Structure 1
Amino acid sequence: MSRREHLAINPLPFLLEGSGLDLSPERLHATFADIARAGYTAVHADVPPDLTPRDYGALLASYGLRPAPGYFGGFFDRLNERDAVVEDARRHAAAAAELGLDTMFIAQHMCDARRARPAIGVEPSAERVEIMADGLELAAQAARAEGVAAALHPHVGSWIETEFEVRGVLDRTRGGALAFGPDTGHLAFAGMDPAALVADYRDRVTAIHLKDLDTAAADRVRRDAVTYFDATRAHRVWAEPGTGALDLPAALDALPPDFGGWYVVEVDLPKHGTPFDSAVLSRENLLDLPYFAEDAR
């Protein structure tokens, strides 16, 4: 498939309701209809609790959509819960494999301390990094046994937020099963250069989230001790690709020339217009880049 055919979208803007997700059948049908109308052919897949992977896949297919890698989160810092979270990751991977996927994003859950003060790395711990790395590697091995690569997804507001933590986990698991699934927005919000991280671990990248960043808003959030909830809602730090300050072409160009993984648009809440407007703008801006030119592959 071409790069364009591997461009998917996370439906969060269509589904977020307050602080949770509306996964009712009515909302899902309306969401997938709008996503297809916006020109996408694939969706960041998260199977709702009341659907089987087969039923979810059939629902997507009824709108001409395919599943793209979804997201699994766990408390990998809690040694006493390691067996349970690894088993949960395995089950998530099995569902992904049933959907025909060979990759999933995997992340450390967010925590109260960093939700309150995001993107500055409060309460760092080298020991915690090692514990999380070991747990994530075990989860990745369990996912691999199901035929799925688990790709580390650093997330602002979690214990894997800063460059020290991202590199610490990836370096400790080098040569193992854990892949890399970076998010350009989260890396930049926490002070990293997304292109540099992608370049340094390019051979482990199996999928990437593409979001842009309003750097002025991000600076205010860090300076004024704004919570993560308000950073993403009131301040709208995330922006549609091509509308913020990030050098997304550099991050894309840092991928291997033969990269065959997924590109997932993710904007949490729209910064420009409605969820549909945001989806269209994101897709158009990305497909205008030379990287996604029809003859790029």
Structure 2
Amino acid sequence: MLKMKVSCHLITWEEDFVKGMEEASSLGYRACETFTRIALKCEDRSDEFKALFEKYGLVLSALYGGGRFSDASQFHETVAYNARVARFAAQNGSDRIVLGPRGPRTAGGTTLEELKTAARVINESAKRCFDLGVKACLHPHLNTEIQDENELDAIMEMTDPNFVFFCPDTAHLTKAGMDPVTVMRRYKDRIAYMHIKDVTPEEPDRTKFPILSGDEALPIFCELGLGSIDFPAVVRLLEEIQYDGWMTIEIDQSTSTPRNSLMVCRDYVEQKLSIPISNRM
């Protein structure tokens, strides 16, 4: 059985992160990631932030940083922002920050010069985070400057593996045309955090989505086990590399309620992947 720890993102609750904490806790989750803009509202009231986590029996798995890495004019601003996020994360018991790139994408893809600039900014941001006891983990993301495989490979090659780690997101990698297992194997020594979510099939069978609340269009990402990603293969790779870090379940958009979606994911992870989330197992 994997030693990894399972977390959940409260993105589905949007601004109502307290309700998200309450419902995630009621489902047995013991850790969460939340919007950084919400967390930083408590930057000068850290005790209140900590008290919320204690109330619901949760720990903070990570916060999401990042920036427009390819814009040299934002170098100092981006580095300072990520150090700020890392400092707050560390004060609240987390040692991970996700480095998320931003859009828009350059027509035809991010250029080599833009990638070189991005690598410098990412390197410096990660070093500042590391000095604070926090590992910075690069998260390739659709519709941003680091989306495609060649862009990911270039950044990983041009950054220091002692400071810049990897946060694979199974859905974003898949939708960008990559095989998550192949990419994760390539950067196995740098994986320090991860997001898992599923991808809705191109021609979905709506009868396989038991939590649909109506005839609404299906989102691009869906609850674990309802989409096309081979999660057993992902787990086998994690077992092979003896990954023992956080695996954060993320549902961008629910087709019923945030709680129902997180329950579907919990049941899939526990029953199909044999990874415990709650103390019910």
TM range (shorter): 0.7 to 0.9
- State the AA in 1 paired with 2:120: D
Q: Give the CA deviation at 1:48.
A: 2.9
Q: Contact conserved, 1:253 with 1:291, CA < 8 A, in 2?
A: no
Q: Give the CA deviation at 1:161.
A: 0.3
Q: Contact conserved, 2:171 with 2:221, CA < 8 A, in 1?
A: yes
**1:130 equivalenced with 2:116 (yes/no):** yes
- Partners of 2:17 and 2:221 in 1: CA distance: 23
Q: Secondary structure at the match of 1:179?
A: strand
| Compared CA separation, residues 179 and 217, structure 1 to 2 (3 A) | farther
Q: Percent identity?
A: 25
- Equivalent residue in structure 2 for 1:242, among 195, 207, 225: 225
Q: How does 1:155-170 map to 2 (within 5 A)?
A: 155-170=141-156
- Equivalent residue in structure 2 for 1:285, among 233, 246, 268: 268
- State the AA in 2 paired with 1:270: S
Q: Give the CA deviation at 1:157.
A: 1.1
Q: Give the CA deviation at 1:110.
A: 2.5
What do residues 188-230 of structure 1 show as CA deviations (whole Å, max 9, x unaligned)? 0010000111111011001110000013069xxxxxxxxxxxx
Q: Secondary structure at the match of 2:125?
A: helix
- Partners of 1:214 and 1:290 in 2: CA distance: 19
Partner residue, 1:108: 101
Q: Contact conserved, 1:137 with 1:176, CA < 8 A, in 2?
A: no
Partner residue, 2:42: 51
- State the AA in 1 paired with 2:26: R
- Partners of 2:131 and 2:88 in 1: CA distance: 13
- Equivalent residue in structure 2 for 1:35, among 7, 24, 31: 24
- State the AA in 1 paired with 2:32: V
Q: Give the CA deviation at 1:57.
A: 2.1
Q: Contact conserved, 1:195 with 1:254, CA < 8 A, in 2?
A: yes
Partner residue, 2:55: 62
Q: Contact conserved, 1:8 with 1:43, CA < 8 A, in 2?
A: yes
- Partners of 1:91 and 1:263 in 2: CA distance: 24
Q: Give the CA deviation at 1:175.
A: 3.3
- State the AA in 1 paired with 2:272: L
Say how many residue pairs are matched.
260
Q: How does 1:221-260 map to 2 (within 5 A)?
A: 234-255=217-238, 256-260=240-244
- State the AA in 2 paired with 1:265: I
Q: Contact conserved, 2:161 with 2:190, CA < 8 A, in 1?
A: no
- Partners of 1:14 and 1:145 in 2: CA distance: 32
- Partners of 1:188 and 1:254 in 2: CA distance: 16
- State the AA in 1 paired with 2:79: V
| Compared CA separation, residues 217 and 82, structure 1 to 2 (3 A) | farther
**1:211 equivalenced with 2:197 (yes/no):** yes
**TM-score, length of structure 1 as denominator length:** 0.81
Partner residue, 2:177: 191
- State the AA in 1 paired with 2:181: A
- Partners of 2:221 and 2:133 in 1: CA distance: 33
What do residues 161-184 of structure 1 show as CA deviations (whole Å, max 9, x unaligned)? 000011111111143410001100
Q: Secondary structure at the match of 2:109?
A: coil
- Partners of 1:234 and 1:171 in 2: CA distance: 39
Q: Contact conserved, 1:74 with 1:108, CA < 8 A, in 2?
A: yes
- Partners of 2:40 and 2:217 in 1: CA distance: 30
Gaps of 5+ in 1: 16-21, 115-120, 219-232
- Partners of 1:130 and 1:54 in 2: CA distance: 40
Partner residue, 1:14: 13
**TM-score, length of structure 2 as denominator length:** 0.86
Q: Give the CA deviation at 1:55.
A: 2.0
Q: Contact conserved, 2:167 with 2:195, CA < 8 A, in 1?
A: yes
Large movers: runs of 4+ above 6 Å: none
| Compared CA separation, residues 236 and 292, structure 1 to 2 (3 A) | same
Q: How does 1:144-163 map to 2 (within 5 A)?
A: 144-163=130-149
- State the AA in 2 paired with 1:162: D
- Partners of 1:127 and 1:155 in 2: CA distance: 19
| Compared CA separation, residues 110 and 124, structure 1 to 2 (3 A) | closer
**1:267 equivalenced with 2:251 (yes/no):** yes
